[in-house]
């Protein structure tokens, strides 16, 4: 598996540094990534946003990639950070990847802010929604295209992606993390049900986990009010992590 450094943009600053993990088919120029970078610049903390393989500026075809590839990209970004504690902010699929990465780097990750967490979404959401015709096409061709509200051409889903996603499931067992975790989820999310965030909260072993349900909030949570809420929660989490480090 390649460990080439993904395309990224970094702002230097104080620790704990923040790494933003974007969503499925998203990229590092999204509104949440840019808003958090502006916050980092204003407040002077280190911040990194990046593109997974097959996303954004990556030259790799999307359909060639799996959860394992995107997790490795996330770990590569974490490992190239300067020494010190990190907070991972994950949006949608990025929340799942942030959880997986934190399980593999528990000494580095001191906190998680998870937005519309799509934990285990390939097994929990994609596979159950497939029709018999789509399943047969996947078995025959190894690839299908599914409709998307965000892409007129739909997006490719491969048999390889689904099989790999099963290997990274978290919700079928306790999640062995003990850092503070903050979850935000819109009650009007039409893409990822808020119940996935609730189940994530229940499976986390940490005793410091809160779930904030936002009335009227959609999947993207990118309105000015949503972005301000995300910024507040991140600042609170950074202050808590800094306080824990002094104790």
Show which residues are catalytic: 92, 189, 219
Q: In angstroms, how far is CA 2 from the centroid of its own chain?
A: 20
Q: What is the DSSP string of 57-92?
A: T--S-GGG--HHHHHHHHHHHHHTSPSS-EEEEEET
- Residue 205, both tokens: 């072993």
Phi and psi at residue 213, to the nearest 5°? -95, 130
- Residue 14, both tokens: 């104080």
- C-alpha triplet 190, 216, 29: angle, nearest 5°: 65
d(CA 93, CA 88): 13
d(CA 170, CA 101): 12
- Residue 156, both tokens: 């490719």
d(CA 28, CA 23): 9
Does residue 22 contact residue 48 with C-beta atoms inside 8 Å?
Answer: no
Q: Would strands 45-50 and 109-115 be described as parallel, antiparallel, or unpaired?
A: unpaired
- Residue 103, both tokens: 């399980």
How far is residue 202 from each of residues 4, 59, 197, measured CA to CA in Å?
Answer: 35, 38, 9
């Amino acid at each position: 598996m390649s460990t080439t450094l993904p395309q990224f943009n970094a702002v230097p600053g104080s620790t704990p540094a923040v790494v933003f993990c974007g969503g499925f088919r998203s990229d590092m120029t999204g509104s949440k990534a840019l808003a958090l970078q502006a916050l980092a610049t204003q407040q002077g903390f280190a911040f990194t946003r990046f593109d997974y393989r097959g996303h954004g500026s990556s030259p790799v075809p999307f359909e060639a990639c799996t959860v394992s590839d995107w997790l490795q990209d996330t770990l590569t970004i974490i490992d190239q950070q300067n020494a010190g504690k990190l907070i991972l902010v994950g949006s949608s699929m990025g929340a799942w990847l942030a959880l997986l990465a934190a399980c593999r780097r528990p000494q580095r990750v001191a906190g998680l802010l998870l937005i519309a967490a799509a934990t285990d979404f390939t097994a929990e959401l994609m596979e159950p929604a497939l029709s018999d015709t789509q399943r047969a096409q996947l078995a025959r061709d190894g690839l299908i295209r599914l409709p998307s509200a965000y892409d007129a051409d739909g997006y490719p889903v491969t048999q390889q992606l689904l099989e790999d996603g099963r290997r990274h499931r978290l919700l079928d067992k306790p999640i062995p993390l003990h850092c503070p975790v903050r979850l935000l989820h819109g009650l009007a999310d039409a893409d990822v049900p808020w119940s996935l965030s609730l189940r994530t909260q229940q499976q986390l072993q940490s005793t410091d986990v809160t779930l904030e349900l936002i009335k009227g909030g959609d999947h993207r949570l990118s309105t000015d009010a949503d972005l301000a809420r995300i910024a507040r929660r991140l600042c609170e989490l950074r202050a808590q992590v800094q306080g824990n480090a002094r104790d």
